[in-house]
């Protein structure tokens, strides 16, 4: 176009022409992919975000967590079993699928396997003609849920466990499960492999080489053939990995890449060294956070009042889905064969709250600018962050790894939540970022954070600002972000905390400013007309206390919190070293204080004088609650005495799954026993550490 012709074009039209020419210029190529990348199956799995676990089997009827393998099949008789109820509950909770424990460590099969007699075909349920796996697979199809399978590599019932023949048996059962019930979205293996077991009557301890015994490469190849679209989950993947704890929490820094070739199922170092993933990971193996809605994984009636509160469940949601992991939430089906009504109630509250938290995106279509845009082209512009699409993204030039975006609300706007997502088909890149708000004419930092990954959800202090700035402070490659969301979630008034010290004094409190507390001690539900808490009060006998928090300004009331206290420890003494103040830590009602048994006391056990003769129905043991687990007792021996000299053996056994789920362990005796003195002796300690740690010991009398 010659200059004379250009001069004849009116200026407004000339500007439009130039803009049109610029807009039609070809976009630079997309950023190069960085590091390992997700497969299509992994992308689809990550987008599920939230799905359910079902723990159900003989353990449900034997009131156990890890069955030994000798519980009779005839005990399995869920007379009201309704897999459609499980699926309906999961669907209503917003879950996208269900994984079921087809066979747990006890070896009992919830389908009529032709390779063992230890299955539902020899249970009274449906006269031996039932198939739990088949019923759930059908229910999942009806409710448009994906269906997954857990089967334990360890089998405490099978006579050949530890021998090559067992691996053949294990694979034959996998073939049954993965070829008879339709599509499977996830195949789930845990790292519990080898230990005490019934083993066909051998009643012994068997160990296996976890690296080689199962020949996992061959098994994985078989699974790929039977279920080519399934995600295979374990510590080592190959497709998805354990988050390293059973609290349901991922981490501020959670990488999807993993140094997979260094990891194997059940490795002792995994939780500390590999569970967060690695920035330089060689394979894409994203994290899945597993947690139960109750303290245990299987149903126990004693935990009906210990279902996680709404606040706790929301904490889990933000620390799993909101920290680059998926959430696998366990629902322990009860001995009737139903998801318990209390669990259903909490799931409904969770779904409602999640929907409320993200009901209205304040960032949607708002003006947004970036400090740098790839090729200065609109295809990679910041507007892509607020267009509501997953496949568009903001990107910078290859040389830029630190950049910022500013969202302009136009007017002062109140918010307390933020959503960020990377475009993970091009890899995970961001190492750290920060958030600022423009208030009172200046920028104020709201927080600094680690990785983003598939999804990052931030819970921020309630802030009113006209603009928000997100700065990518560090990235291993140019940032590529697909979504930014800003929300103002309704605040939950938290449950009160109810504690009792060694002297029997009960305290009710929490972090809510200005909240009042009301409580009952007779099993009834409190309201604002119940007794108001003003100061600590004494409780020495078995008592159930239920309390609520009430915010007088908003008139909001928390969920009730219920605690069952047994006899108090006011008059208890540790007999072996009465002058040792350290030993009081084992019975001080403070789970964060530890007492360590070493030397002779490790051999003889912890001896406690209860002050008077008590009839005991069981006991509780709490391992250390600190980050670095040590001295955890896995097997115990329990004695009782009238005089502290002549001892009678009451019971010995194991604390199932305590290494992965180090919470209070409740052990019930086969029959009540009376005495004044107890001896709690460690039989086995994690890694034979030469010490045993007791954070708390308690008696069960009611």
CA dist 597 and 392 (Å) reads: 59
pLDDT of residue 599: 86
Give residue 552's pLDDT.
82
Domain with CATH 2.60.40 in the chain: 497-565
Whether a cis peptide bond, with omega within 30° of 0, leads into 137 is: no
SS3 445: strand
Question: In the chain, where does the domain assigned CATH 2.60.120.260 lie?
Answer: 368-487, 573-700
CB atoms within 10 A of CB 426: 20
Q: Predicted confidence band at 373 (pLDDT cuts at 50, 70, 90)?
A: very high
Element (H, E) at 34: none
Hey, which residues does 666 pair with through a beta bridge?
620
* Range of lowest pLDDT (102-106, 329-333, 599-603): 599-603
Q: What percent of the chain has pLDDT over 70?
A: 95
Three-class SS of residue 516? strand
pLDDT of 23 over the 60 cut: no
Instruction: Please give the structure tokens belonging to residue 247.
Output: 């609290």
Q: What is the pLDDT of residue 583?
A: 64
pLDDT exceeds cutoff 50 at 581: no
Q: Give the pLDDT score at 627.
A: 67
Q: How many CA atoms lie within 13 A of 181 on its CB side?
A: 32
Confidence of residue 512 (pLDDT cuts 50, 70, 90): low
pLDDT at 523 over 50: yes
Higher pLDDT, 418 or 581: 418
Domain 42-357, second-level architecture: Alpha-Beta Barrel (3.20)
Q: Residue 15: is its pLDDT beyond 60?
A: no
Q: Write the pLDDT tens digit of every residue in 335-355.
A: 999 999 999 999 999 999 999
Contact 224, 248 (CB under 8 A): no
Tell which CATH architecture fits domain 368-487: Sandwich (2.60)
- Between CA 71 and CA 296 the distance in angstroms is 19
For range 50-56, the mean pLDDT: 98
Helix axes 310-320, 341-357, angle to 10 degrees: 60
Are 455 and 421 spatial neighbours (Cβ–Cβ below 8 Å)? Answer: yes
Strands of the sheet with 537-538, listed across from one edge:
497-500, 505-509, 537-538
CATH fold of the domain at 573-700: Jelly Rolls (2.60.120)
Alpha-carbon gap, residue 503 to 91, rounded angstroms = 47
Q: How far apart are the first and last CA of the chain?
A: 95
Distance CA 476, CA 429 (A): 5
Local confidence band at 235 (pLDDT 50, 70, 90 cut-offs): confident
| Segments of the chain assigned to CATH 3.20.20.80 | 42-357
Topology adopted by domain 497-565: Immunoglobulin-like (2.60.40)
Distance from C-alpha of 369 to C-alpha of 610, rounded to nearest angstrom: 69
Parallel, antiparallel, or unpaired: how do β-strands 648-654 and 696-700 relate? unpaired
Report the range of poorest mean pLDDT among 141-150, 362-371, 508-517: 508-517
| pLDDT tens track for 136-170 | 999 999 999 999 999 999 999 999 999 999 999 99
Instruction: Write out pLDDT tens, residues 165-215.
Output: 999 999 999 999 999 999 999 999 998 889 899 999 999 999 999 999 999
Per-residue pLDDT tens for 247-303?
A: 999 999 999 999 999 999 888 889 889 999 999 999 999 999 999 999 999 999 989
211 three-class SS: coil
């Amino acid at each position: 176009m010659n200059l004379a012709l250009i001069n004849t074009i009116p200026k407004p039209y000339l500007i439009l022409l130039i803009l049109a020419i610029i807009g039609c210029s070809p976009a630079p190529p997309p950023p190069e992919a960085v590091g390992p990348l997700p497969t299509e199956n992994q992308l689809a799995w990550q987008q599920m975000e939230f799905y359910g676990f079902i723990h159900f089997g003989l353990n449900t009827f034997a009131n156990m967590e890890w069955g030994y393998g000798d519980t009779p099949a005839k005990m399995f008789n869920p007379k009201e079993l309704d897999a459609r109820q499980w699926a309906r509950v999961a669907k209503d909770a917003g879950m996208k699928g269900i994984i079921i424990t087809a066979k747990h460590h006890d070896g009992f099969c919830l389908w009529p396997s032709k390779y063992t007699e230890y299955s539902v075909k020899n249970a009274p349920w449906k006269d031996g003609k039932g198939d739990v796996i088949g019923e759930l697979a059908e229910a999942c199809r009806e409710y448009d849920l994906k269906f997954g399978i857990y089967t334990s590599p360890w089998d405490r019932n099978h006579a050949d466990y530890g021998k090559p023949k067992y691996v053949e048996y294990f694979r034959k059962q996998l073939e049954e499960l993965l070829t008879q019930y339709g599509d499977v979205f996830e195949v789930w293996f845990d790292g519990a492999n080898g230990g005490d077991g019934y083993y066909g009557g051998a009643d012994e301890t068997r160990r296996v080489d976890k690296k080689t015994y199962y020949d996992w490469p061959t098994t994985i190849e078989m699974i790929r053939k039977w279920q080519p679209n399934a995600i295979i989950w374990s510590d080592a993947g190959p497709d998805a990995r354990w988050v390293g704890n059973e609290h349901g929490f991922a981490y501020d820094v959670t990488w999807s890449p993993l140094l997979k070739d260094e990891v194997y199922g059940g490795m002792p170092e995994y939780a500390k060294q590999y569970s967060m993933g690695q920035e330089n990971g060689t394979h894409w193996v994203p994290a899945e956070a597993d947690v139960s809605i109750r303290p245990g994984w299987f149903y126990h009636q004693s935990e009906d009042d210990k279902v996680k509160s709404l606040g706790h469940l929301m904490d889990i949601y933000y620390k799993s889905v909101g920290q680059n992991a998926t959430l696998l939430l366990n629902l322990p089906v009860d001995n009737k064969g139903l998801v318990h009504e209390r669990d259903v109630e909490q799931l409904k509250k969770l779904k409602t709250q999640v929907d409320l938290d993200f009901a209205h995106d304040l960032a949607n279509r708002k003006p947004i600018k970036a400090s740098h845009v790839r090729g200065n082209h609109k295809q990679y512009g910041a507007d892509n962050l607020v267009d509501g699409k997953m496949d568009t993204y903001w990107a910078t030039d290859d040389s830029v790894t630190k950049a910022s975006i500013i969202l302009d609300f136009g007017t002062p706007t109140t918010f307390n939540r933020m959503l960020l997502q990377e475009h993970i088909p091009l890899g995970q890149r961001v190492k750290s970022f920060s958030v600022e708000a423009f208030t009172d004419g200046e920028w104020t930092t709201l927080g600094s954070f680690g990785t983003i990954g598939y999804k990052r959800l931030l819970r921020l202090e309630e802030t009113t600002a006209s603009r928000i700035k997100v700065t990518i402070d560090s990235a291993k490659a140019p940032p590529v972000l697909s979504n930014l969301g800003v929300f103002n979630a309704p605040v939950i008034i938290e449950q009160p905390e109810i504690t009792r010290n060694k002297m029997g004094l009960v305290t009710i409190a929490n972090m809510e400013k200005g909240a009042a507390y009301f409580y009952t001690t007779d099993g009834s539900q409190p309201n604002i007309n119940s007794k108001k808490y003003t100061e600590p009060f004494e409780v020495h006998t078995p008592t159930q206390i239920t309390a609520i928090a009430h915010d007088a300004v908003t008139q909001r009331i928390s969920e009730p919190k219920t605690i069952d206290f047994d006899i108090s420890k006011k008059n208890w003494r540790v007999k072996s070293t009465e002058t040792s103040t350290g030993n009081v830590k084992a019975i001080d009602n403070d789970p964060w204080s530890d007492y360590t048994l070493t030397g002779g006391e490790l051999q003889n056990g912890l001896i406690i004088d209860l002050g008077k003769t008590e009839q005991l129905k069981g006991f509780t043991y709490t391992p250390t609650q600190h980050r670095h687990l040590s001295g955890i007792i896995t097997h115990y021996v329990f004695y009782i005495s009238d005089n502290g000299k002549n001892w009678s053996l009451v019971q010995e056994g194991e604390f199932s799954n305590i290494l992965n789920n180090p919470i209070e362990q409740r052990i019930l005796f086969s029959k009540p026993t009376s005495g004044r003195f107890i001896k709690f002796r460690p039989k086995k300690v994690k890694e034979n550490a030469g010490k045993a740690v007791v954070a708390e010991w308690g008696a069960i009398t009611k």
